Chain A
Amino acid sequence: MFEIFGLPSQALFGQLLLGLINGSFYALLSLGLAVIFGMLNIINFSHGAQYMMGAFTAYLLLQYAGIGYWESLVIAPIVVGATGILIEQLFLQHLRQLDPLYGLLLTFGLALIIEGLFRNTYGSSGQPYQVPATLQGGRNLGFMFLPNYRAWVIVFSLTVCLATWFAIERTRLGSYLRAATENPVLVRAFGINVPRMVTLTYGFGVGLAALAGVMAAPIYNVSPQMGSDLIIVVFAVVVIGGMGSIMGAIVTGFALGLVEGLTKVFFPEASNTVIFVIMAIVLLIRPAGLFGRAV
């Protein structure tokens, strides 16, 4: 066994793997944000609240309908995505002509309201949710004990991220979407229903947040403020990756998970701040973000 930075290599590999697992949550959340911003030009501040709604939907489904984790993985994103579509129809579509700042303020307000409603009903200390039976336990990798559920998180979120990237960058539907962002009038002239496409995209982005929420429910405390704790970090991830860049969001999500994991070993007190330090540096050197196009 050799040592790196005074730490046994085994421990270091373990920490790196954990960082990657946390990174998969960042990636999944920032992906949704990037899709919404890239396609709709909306800075969706209620993303954290929608992530929390995903986790709560899973809890409520189990509590009141006996529906387990696997079904929730499908149902919760659809349910929460539908509320997203409602929000888009009721509020956001009226703001499309205005500065993105208005959308930001609106979604921020919505996030506070949603969080407040959940806190009022369920209290702030959280609700129980267990790891599904098939994924309980774990295996010893030699350098660390890897719970099966964490392995599942990393594989599944990577799959979802790549599939989303593929759908937007490599398919016909994706090309319509990108074209509609560039020039909606022209795309409409081809007979494509742009407003509906935008609405569905918002619903999809929100659904991604809810999916991350369901995946988080068995390992993180399911509480009304679980989203607001995370959302600031996720925004930093999106800014570092470059606003609106899909691949940027995915790669930065995983990379920052790694950086944060290492910080937890060497200087745990700073693990909450390290991402913002990186954000400040990136903004100084490359204001458009690592993967963003300069405007």
Chain B
Amino acid sequence: MTNAARVAFLAAALICAGTVAARAQERTVKIGVLSDMSSLFSENSGPGSLVAARLAVEDFNPAAKGLKVEIVSADHQNKADIGANIARQWFDVDHVDAIVDMATSSVALAVSELAREKNKVLLVSAAATSDLTGQKCSPNTIHWSYDTWMLAHSTGKAMVTTGGDTWFFITADYAFGQALERDTTAVILANGGKVLGSVRHPINVNDFSSFLLQAQASKAKVVGLANAGGDTVNAIKQSAEFGLSKGGQQLAGLLVFIADVNALGLEAAQGLVLTASWYWDMTEGNRAFTKRWRAERPGRFPTMVHAGVYASVIHYLKTVAALKSDADGRTVIAKMKEMPTEDPLFGKGFIRADGRKIHDAYLFEVKRPDESRYPGDYYKLRAIVPAAEAFRPLKDGGCPLVTN
């Protein structure tokens, strides 16, 4: 080989090595939005969460930090087996690093186990069961927007302390409803109230009149709805018809989303007390996010689930950029807990050792039709539950990750 040829060869080798190095620097992070895309929870999470995740990636600007982010999504149809199968396929075959949104408690519990087994990342913002950070907590799972404990304590306590001391529950018969009833019952008893009875209905029922009649017959002051989505809408709609409030009974929707209020109409929903950790019309940051979100989801309003997806994706990407690796799920989650959170929607906050994201919760009341001035102007703020009180104390959860 001549000298010139040798130089040319070396140069070529160097250029090749350079491109390889550049490629290695630009890591691909793959995020999966796993949710109910077509059924009763799809308005509160579903396609809106996909939009929120995309906005988060856009705002994070991964290219500037040497990352490439890909988003995939799938519909688990609220079935734990389908959800687990999709997650398995994503983790094993499609190299998905993190799953976000994760609607429906029963599915979330199944996928949480799987994420632990495969050492990946699960960022739950749609499912509600407080078991995700309690007995079933996992070093691979973070629970973002809200949980049944938060709902129970905020709404439940507000009702009991204002005179609603006897309760009857209408509960959806699956992990979420049962957890919500259990957590609310604890609050009622702790504040000197009594639970007179409860009835458990299958998910997705049309007619609540029979259950409402039983609630009426119980003479309880408060009828607690431990269900969600279309079930809550049907129950509230029909309770007005059966004159529950005219008979002096109060209705407590333990999990009500803005889309549910929209489905009821203010005429039927006015006066309803509910808890959320985020409302689109509270701050400038929220309104700006809503405007961008609505460009892709016209006619709808984002919920605390969508906000949670946005915030959790931002925090996840920040962590991956700081670690310069997304390979080990447990390390990423540990780092996420170590780093304080900050985003335009929830402000500053942090993640506890059991995986619970800590922020304020808000008690809202649905406005009367004459109080609402523009589309989506539905809530007025009744009380702020400060972050320190909004979630279950660390020691009470029974999470095995929490030592001492």
Chain A interface residues (CB < 8 Å from chain B): 11, 14-15, 18-19, 21-22, 119, 123-131, 137-138, 144-145, 147, 149-150, 218-223, 225-226, 229-230, 261, 264-265, 268-269, 271-273
Judge whether B237 and A219 touch: CB under 8 Å: yes
Interface stretch, picked from B205-213, B311-319, B324-332, B374-382, is B205-213
Question: B residues within 8 A CB of A219?
Answer: 237-238, 241
Question: A residues within 8 A CB of B209?
Answer: 18, 21-22, 150
Question: A residues within 8 A CB of B214?
Answer: 11, 265
Whole-angstrom distance from the CB of A48 to the nearest CB of chain B?
12
Whole-angstrom distance from the CB of A7 to the nearest CB of chain B?
10
Question: Between A and B, how many residue pairs show CB distances below 8 Å?
Answer: 118
CB nearest neighbor in B for A128: B265
Q: Does any Cβ of A come within 8 Å of B97's Cβ?
A: no
**Which residues 187-230 of B have a CB within 8 angstroms of A?**
199-202, 204-207, 209-211, 213-214, 216-217, 229-230
Judge whether B217 and A11 touch: CB under 8 Å: yes
Judge whether A124 and B211 touch: CB under 8 Å: no
Q: Does any Cβ of A come within 8 Å of B267's Cβ?
A: yes
Q: How far is the CA of A48 from the CA of B40 in the complex (A)?
A: 16
Q: How far is the CA of A200 from the CA of B30 in the complex (A)?
A: 54
Candidates A14, A223, A230; contact of B213 at CB < 8 Å: A14
Q: How far is the CA of A138 from the CA of B207 in the complex (A)?
A: 18
Judge whether A145 and B243 touch: CB under 8 Å: yes
Judge whether B233 and A125 touch: CB under 8 Å: yes
Q: How far is the CA of A225 from the CA of B216 in the complex (A)?
A: 29
CB nearest neighbor in A for B44: A125
Whole-angstrom distance from the CB of B170 to the nearest CB of chain A?
10
A-B contact pairs, 10 of them (CB 8 A): A18-B210, A22-B207, A125-B43, A125-B263, A126-B263, A127-B263, A147-B242, A220-B207, A268-B173, A268-B199
Judge whether B210 and A265 touch: CB under 8 Å: yes
CB nearest neighbor in A for B236: A221
Scan B233-259; emit 1 where CB is below 8 A from any A CB, else 0: 110011001110001000000000101
Scan B32-56; emit 1 where CB is below 8 A from any A CB, else 0: 0000001110111010000000000
A272 and B39 contact, Cβ closer than 8 Å, known pairs A125-B44, A128-B268, A264-B210:
no
Q: Does any Cβ of A come within 8 Å of B335's Cβ?
A: no
Q: Does any Cβ of A come within 8 Å of B368's Cβ?
A: no
Q: How far is the CA of A11 from the CA of B214 in the complex (A)?
A: 8
Question: B residues within 8 A CB of A265?
Answer: 210, 214
Chain B interface residues (CB < 8 Å from chain A): 38-40, 42-44, 46, 173, 199-202, 204-207, 209-211, 213-214, 216-217, 229-230, 233-234, 237-238, 241-243, 247, 257, 259-260, 262-265, 267-268, 299-300
Q: How far is the CA of A127 from the CA of B38 in the complex (A)?
A: 16
Q: How far is the CA of A133 from the CA of B121 in the complex (A)?
A: 53
Judge whether B43 and A221 touch: CB under 8 Å: no
Whole-angstrom distance from the CB of A254 to the nearest CB of chain B?
15
Question: A residues within 8 A CB of B199?
Answer: 268
Q: How far is the CA of A123 from the CA of B51 in the complex (A)?
A: 15
CB nearest neighbor in B for A224: B38
Judge whether B38 and A261 touch: CB under 8 Å: no
Q: How far is the CA of A15 from the CA of B211 in the complex (A)?
A: 9
Question: B residues within 8 A CB of A131?
Answer: 241
> A220-B237, A221-B233 provided; 12 other pairs, C-beta below 8 A?
A18-B210, A125-B42, A125-B257, A126-B230, A127-B263, A129-B265, A130-B265, A137-B243, A147-B242, A264-B210, A265-B210, A268-B210
A221 and B241 contact, Cβ closer than 8 Å, known pairs A125-B43, A128-B265:
no
CB nearest neighbor in B for A131: B241
CB nearest neighbor in B for A261: B210
Judge whether B242 and A268 touch: CB under 8 Å: no
A-B interface, 3 closest residue pairs, ranked by CB to CB distance from nearest: A128-B265, A125-B43, A126-B263
Whole-angstrom distance from the CB of B265 to the nearest CB of chain A?
3
Q: How far is the CA of A126 from the CA of B42 in the complex (A)?
A: 11
Question: B residues within 8 A CB of A126?
Answer: 230, 233, 263
Judge whether B268 and A130 touch: CB under 8 Å: yes
Judge whether B213 and A221 touch: CB under 8 Å: no
CB nearest neighbor in B for A230: B206
Judge whether B259 and A125 touch: CB under 8 Å: yes
Candidates B39, B207, B213; contact of A144 at CB < 8 Å: B213
Q: How far is the CA of A219 from the CA of B209 in the complex (A)?
A: 10
Whole-angstrom distance from the CB of B225 to the nearest CB of chain A?
14
Question: B residues within 8 A CB of A147?
Answer: 241-243
Judge whether A125 and B230 touch: CB under 8 Å: yes
Whole-angstrom distance from the CB of A79 to the nearest CB of chain B?
23
Question: B residues within 8 A CB of A22?
Answer: 207, 209
Candidates B46, B206, B247, B268; contact of A220 at CB < 8 Å: B206
Q: How far is the CA of A121 from the CA of B219 in the complex (A)?
A: 42
Judge whether A225 and B217 touch: CB under 8 Å: no
Question: B residues within 8 A CB of A19?
Answer: 210
Judge whether A128 and B201 touch: CB under 8 Å: no
A271 and B233 contact, Cβ closer than 8 Å, known pairs A150-B241, A261-B210:
no
Q: How far is the CA of A149 from the CA of B243 in the complex (A)?
A: 12
Judge whether B206 and A229 touch: CB under 8 Å: yes
Question: B residues within 8 A CB of A125?
Answer: 40, 42-44, 229-230, 233, 257, 259-260, 262-263
Question: A residues within 8 A CB of B44?
Answer: 125
Judge whether A225 and B40 touch: CB under 8 Å: yes
Judge whether A124 and B40 touch: CB under 8 Å: yes
Q: How far is the CA of A61 from the CA of B13 in the complex (A)?
A: 72
Q: How far is the CA of A174 from the CA of B377 in the complex (A)?
A: 54
Whole-angstrom distance from the CB of B78 to the nearest CB of chain A?
12
Candidates A11, A130, A138; contact of B267 at CB < 8 Å: A130
A271 and B202 contact, Cβ closer than 8 Å, known pairs A11-B213, A225-B40:
yes
Q: How far is the CA of A272 from the CA of B299 in the complex (A)?
A: 33
Candidates A15, A123, A149; contact of B299 at CB < 8 Å: A123
Candidates A21, A127, A269; contact of B202 at CB < 8 Å: A269
Question: B residues within 8 A CB of A264?
Answer: 201, 210-211
A272 and B205 contact, Cβ closer than 8 Å, known pairs A125-B262, A223-B263:
yes
Judge whether B238 and A229 touch: CB under 8 Å: no
